[in-house]
Amino acid sequence: MGGFDRVDDVATAVRWRPKWRHRGVDGPGRSAWRRGWLPAALALLVSLLLIGHTVLPNGFGRLGSLLETFLPWLGAAVPVLLVLALLRRSAAALVALALPATAWLGLFGAELVPEEGSVGDITVVQHNVSDTNPDPAGTADALTRVRPDLIGMQELTEPALSAYAAALGWDYPYRTVHGTVGLWSRYPLLDDQPLDIRPTGFGPDWNRGLRATVRLPGGDVAVYVAHLPSVRIGLPDGFGTTRRDESARLLAGVLDTERLGTVILLGDLNSTVHDRGLAPVRALLPSTGRAFPFSWPTALPVARIDQVMARSATVADLWSLPATGSDHLPIAARLRL
């Protein structure tokens, strides 16, 4: 009873037992914990980049700034590595994926939580309108649909300026323009002046900054509008941020001497809030709003280089507006003073 009646029965049992004992083992005999080390190693690398991006050296090609510009996109590696881990049926890779997922959520998880009825004292709009914008009047109309109190613009040109002035003049009777940057306001503007944030080698015709006092009902606020130099990727400099970073330091120097307590900066800073090149400005204007949404380029936004930043005020909500004739999306924000 219970034994094998024939030699054939014994042979069948021997052939069957290895399949039961080695379930999950691949052809070379590796278990789920011993295969898939490549996706596991890549998951660890992504985790280290997310957690330690600030210590990545910036000397060669400005790789640190380049990584920080596109830092949120490292999260895209997680689903790709998840597919690889499932294809390899690798338990090691699946466990390792918890590291970059946790690191990304720690940095950007709050960005995914919808704002619940954010209320601000004022609404502002920041927009690089583009010096090749074919429809200034339409752009002005698009910017006013959220009924902002302040509108900061960059890349203003003389031919387009009259169109913006005509479209905005009725609701925004107060404006100041210096060089290629301008500020429109529902409230009186006082002691406006240009800012000298020119990097070394730029001539006096390069004027991309202004400062004005806005007389709000609750008190005076210093408002800055700035456009930092563009960044190019190429040889031999790599991620060419030298002039932008110098201009950011000059802007920070001016902000550091500001006499008013409440400060708002509206600008195309050609830098994300995580980019170390913007650190001098961010240290003085700690409220920056969400890292999302992205504002550039319009066709496929990959980064938010248009910023609303504040001191002694909170950027309570921030969102992008529909595309205009510019290569940047407008950014709107509500601020609590």
Which backbone phi and psi does 319 adopt, to 5 degrees? Answer: -155, 165
Share of the chain above pLDDT 90, in %: 77
Q: What is the pLDDT of residue 243?
A: 95
Q: What is the pLDDT of residue 89?
A: 86
CA torsion, points 189, 131, 288, 105, in degrees to nearest 10? 160
In angstroms, rounded to a whole number, what is the distance separating the alpha carbons of residues 10 and 114? 65
In angstroms, rounded to a whole number, what is the distance separating the alpha carbons of residues 321 and 133? 16
Domains of the chain: 7-112 (no CATH), 122-336 (3.60.10.10)
Q: What is the pLDDT of residue 325?
A: 96
- DSSP-based three-state secondary structure for 262: coil
Q: What is the pLDDT of residue 88?
A: 81
Counts for the chain of helices (H) and strands (E), in that order: 10, 13
111-158 pLDDT, tens digit each: 877 666 567 899 999 999 999 999 999 999 999 999 999 999 999 999
55-82 pLDDT, tens digit each: 988 877 889 999 999 999 999 999 999 9
Residue identified by tokens 């613009």 is 153
In angstroms, rounded to a whole number, what is the distance separating the alpha carbons of residues 285 and 131? 28
218-275 pLDDT, tens digit each: 999 999 999 999 998 876 678 889 999 999 999 999 999 999 999 999 999 999 999 9
In angstroms, rounded to a whole number, what is the distance separating the alpha carbons of residues 139 and 83? 43
Q: What is the pLDDT of residue 116?
A: 60
Share of the chain above pLDDT 70, in %: 88
Angle of helix 37-51 versus helix 98-108 axis, rounded to 10: 20
Q: Is the pLDDT of residue 313 over 60?
A: yes
Q: What is the pLDDT of residue 24?
A: 56
What pTM did the predictor assign?
A: 0.87
